Structure 1
Amino acid sequence: MLDVPWPASTEDRPGRRAGPPGLAGWCLRVVRSRLFEVAIVVLIMANGVVLGVETYRDLGPAGPVLQWLEWVFRAAFVAEIAVRVLAYGRRPQDFFRHGWNVFDFVVTAAIFLPGLHGDSALLRVVRVARMLRLVRFSPGLRTIVAALLRSLPGVAGFLALAGVTLYVYGMAGWLIFGRAQPEQYGDIGRSLLTLFVLLSLETLPDLVEQGMALSPWTLVYYVSYVIITVNLLLNILIAVIVNSMEEARRLEMTERLAPGHDEDGDGVPDEVDRIALTQRLDDLWAVIAELERELRIDRDDRPPRPRRDPG
């Protein structure tokens, strides 16, 4: 289900039985319903089918029908955004506090910009961008996108290291093979392109054979390149992405556990607080049991604790 946060007042927080009244309450119930999500997903997929059909030539009488369907999609997506905004009641600006909402609004509103009419390429790009909206309806896809975004700093460091490594090997390749193989290593540009294609290892047998014809020592160049770049660097990239995937999955689980509940205002959802408190109590009981075993205290032999008079 999609999380549509309600204004953070004491009586209208998500999860409360008393929901917002009137039109806002109806819109909130609609947005949180499973049928609404399924309908939007079907519309997005139908929009993709129409875009695919439009790539064929000589559509004949189907052309006007496809144009009519495009206007139906526009009206439906505008109505969807309107319902989502109205679900925020007296704080419609909170709609833009969430990244996916902003993306949906931009993709829907961009279709009405001046100049985006007819059969322009930019208009088709905007229409194709609607297909990306399917990501918000799939927790798995959201986790992957969040992981890719969280891995950007690590990927940037990896790209810097990979760029330096490729440049060093490119210069070495130009010095070693520049005269013998000018098509592959004639300058730094061709050398870098050859090494980049070599990352797939498809051209490795041919390059090794050409290098061995020049000198057996060229095998050291290619073996070291494959070990450092193909094995080591690519494994580092995979490790960065996998680590970001785990962090994004933990974040997704935390958001599912507590969609907006934070009564104490500490920034940690209440459900997570309860889980942490339960774990601490379990640890405390384990420590008490260990102390009882060390002190050899028998629970059955201890005198009962005196009861306090409630009066």
Structure 2
Amino acid sequence: MAVFCVILLNAVLMGAETYSGLAEEYRQVLQAAEDGCLVLFTLEMLVRLGACADQPKAFFRDPWNVFDLVVVASAFVPLVRENTTLLRLLRLARVLRTARFLPHLRILLVAVGRSLPGTASFLFVGALVLYVYAMVGWVCFADADPQHYGSVGRAALTLFLLTTLDGLTDAVRAGLQISRLSIIYYASYALLASFVLVNVLIGVVLNSLDEAREMEKEASRAQPDPGRDGPDAADGDLRDRIATARRALDEIEAGLGAAPQAARPPARQLEASHTGG
């Protein structure tokens, strides 16, 4: 929680620096606060690295640990410190470290990353549809509406803006003044681009979101339980073995129930032989 609060404080300081008057008046205070946040972030990373000193691979196996380390260590790289724009972008990346403390945000970011391959396919199909409709729009409306369809680039930009259905009414009215068949052009594009393709993209993202949730659950199960380490874990294993041995003895006694009494060995002897004394 302390690190989480420092990350939020760092975000507030970055926002305060965007006000020129405030930044000029409290320049030294803001710089000192920024240096203090950097010191705390560095101490946190040193503690986390020290905690994983016996298992360094476990630290670098977690992508969030690698992300935190790169973001914090970049502030000490000479070339980065001299580049103001790059340094500000990397400072902004510290705000994304809050995802490590918010499971739902972490799941969302993982889902976005896993949806990139499917999104690439969607972008290819969407670009193909956009290009075909842009060429048709250029052929049909270039002379009457050169401002929007004077070239394939302008036509593609116009159709891309119409994907959100914003301005579709004005476009349809302008098209009807050119030809009544334009209603077929705009209706088919709105149906294909705004409904079919967008819903396909939503389906890809939702599928990746389900996969990210499963990965988060598996990672939670894989984490060791502190209560099961040390002597308590050994005692728990011993109790489990004793319980298993007793169940086996009960099954043996039940199986020997039909045998003569003299042929059955005593239960204590069975238990001693089964548990090794």
TM-score band, normalised by shorter chain: 0.7 to 0.9
The Cα shift of 1:215 comes to 1.1
- Which protein has the bigger helix share? 2
The Cα shift of 1:108 comes to 0.4
Deviation by residue 1:30-65 (Cα, 9 ceiling, x = unmatched): xxxxxxxx0110000000011111111223552211
The Cα shift of 1:115 comes to 3.7
How many residue pairs align between the two structures? Answer: 232
Instruction: Give the alignment's TM-score, normalised by structure 1.
Output: 0.71
Counterpart Cα distance in 1 of 2:4 and 2:194: 40
Written as runs of structure 1 = structure 2, the 5 A alignment for 1:117-132 is 117=81, 120-132=84-96
Deviation by residue 1:172-196 (Cα, 9 ceiling, x = unmatched): 0001101100000000000000000
1:219 paired residue number: 183
Q: Percent identity?
A: 41
The Cα shift of 1:114 comes to 1.1
SS of residue in 1 equivalent to 2:69:
helix
Deviation by residue 1:85-118 (Cα, 9 ceiling, x = unmatched): 1111333344222211111111101111114447
2:213 paired residue number: 249
Contact 1:86 1:92 in 2 (8 A): no
Q: Which runs of 5+ in 2 are unaligned?
A: 226-253, 258-263, 271-277
Counterpart Cα distance in 1 of 2:21 and 2:110: 42
Superposition misfits of 4+ residues, deviation over 6 angstroms: none
1:92 paired residue number: 56
Q: Aligned AA for 2:128? A: V
1:183 paired residue number: 147
Counterpart Cα distance in 1 of 2:203 and 2:25: 53
Q: Aligned AA for 1:39? A: A
Counterpart Cα distance in 2 of 1:223 and 1:132: 41
SS of residue in 2 equivalent to 1:179:
coil
Written as runs of structure 1 = structure 2, the 5 A alignment for 1:45-60 is 45-59=8-22, 60=24
Q: After alignment, is 68-77 or 88-97 more displaced?
A: 88-97
Counterpart Cα distance in 1 of 2:67 and 2:36: 20
Q: Which runs of 5+ in 1 are unaligned?
A: 1-37, 262-303
Q: Aligned AA for 1:78? A: T
The Cα shift of 1:260 comes to 5.0
1:139 paired residue number: 103
1:83 aligns with 2:47: yes
Q: After alignment, is 115-124 or 242-251 more displaced?
A: 115-124
Counterpart Cα distance in 1 of 2:107 and 2:31: 35
Q: Aligned AA for 1:222? A: Y
SS of residue in 2 equivalent to 1:202:
coil
Deviation by residue 1:236-259 (Cα, 9 ceiling, x = unmatched): 000110111111112212222231
Deviation by residue 1:274-306 (Cα, 9 ceiling, x = unmatched): xxxxxxxxxxxxxxxxxxxxxxxxxxxxxx754
Q: Aligned AA for 2:130? A: L
Q: Which has the larger radius of gyration?
A: 2
Contact 1:155 1:237 in 2 (8 A): yes
The Cα shift of 1:142 comes to 0.8
CA RMSD between the two structures: 1.8
Instruction: Give the alignment's TM-score, normalised by structure 2.
Output: 0.79
More RCO (CA 8 Å, sep 6+): 1
Counterpart Cα distance in 2 of 1:224 and 1:62: 58
Counterpart Cα distance in 2 of 1:57 and 1:146: 36
Contact 1:208 1:222 in 2 (8 A): yes
2:118 is aligned, of 146, 154, 165, to 154
